[in-house]
Amino acid sequence: IHNGHIALAKAFLKEEKLDEVWFMVSPQNPFKVNQQLLSDHLRLEMVRKALENESQLIVSDYEFHLPRPSYTWLTLQHLKEDYPQDNFTLLVGGDNWAAFDRWYHADDILSNYQIVVFPRRGENESTVNLTQGVHFLNAPLIDISSTEIRRYVQEGRDISAFISASIQ
């Protein structure tokens, strides 16, 4: 988790007038099966530390208790059962939106949940095809990526400007 994720969540909270933003730490993204990640529990702990002073940003291990791989559709179905009084809005990055049609039960997600897309560098409403009912988050573009941060770490470069002091 980096400062861009936190700033984005705060913008999402404000712009969409939400009560909370839940950070779902996912144990296994079906599109990243061969990607080396830190352990589930270490990633969970990093998110907890990064959000410890953010009362409306909630860290969740909910997906740790669901079958793997972790499919958003199944998570949303379980959330609807466990929290029937709540409405869930899904925030996805432009890179994920570009592959959304390959997601498990993508059409069901589109039909049953509000989706907000955060555009990446170079993306805007004229370059990205948004389905009816899906809209861009009105927030400043954050010029930072987890991939870049991982590369900086591998190169031994300073990443303190990108991540919370609590997880450095």
Over residues 24-39, the mean pLDDT reads: 73
Lowest mean pLDDT among 32-36, 38-42, 75-79, 126-130: 32-36
Residue type, 145: S
pLDDT given at position 122: 74
Over residues 16-35, the mean pLDDT reads: 83
Please, are residues 12 and 137 in contact by the beta-carbon 8 Å criterion?
Answer: yes
pLDDT given at position 36: 61
Give the closest residue to 116 by CA, choosing from 28, 1, 42, 14.
14
Please, are residues 134 and 116 in contact by the beta-carbon 8 Å criterion?
Answer: yes
DSSP E strand stretches across 7-148: 21-24, 57-60, 89-93, 114-118, 134-136
Tell me how long the chain is. Answer: 168
Number of domains in the chain: 1
Full domain range(s) for residue 16: 3-167
Express each pLDDT in 103-148 by its tens digit. Answer: 999 999 999 999 999 987 777 666 688 898 899 998 887 778 888 9
pLDDT given at position 126: 63
Share of the chain above pLDDT 70, in %: 92
CA distance 166 to 51: 9
Instruction: Give 60's strand partners.
Output: 24
pLDDT given at position 31: 65
> Any idea of the CA torsion for 27, 41, 118, 90, to the nearest 10 degrees?
60
How many Cβ atoms sit within 10 Å of the Cβ of residue 142?
Answer: 17
- CATH number of the CATH domain containing 71: 3.40.50.620
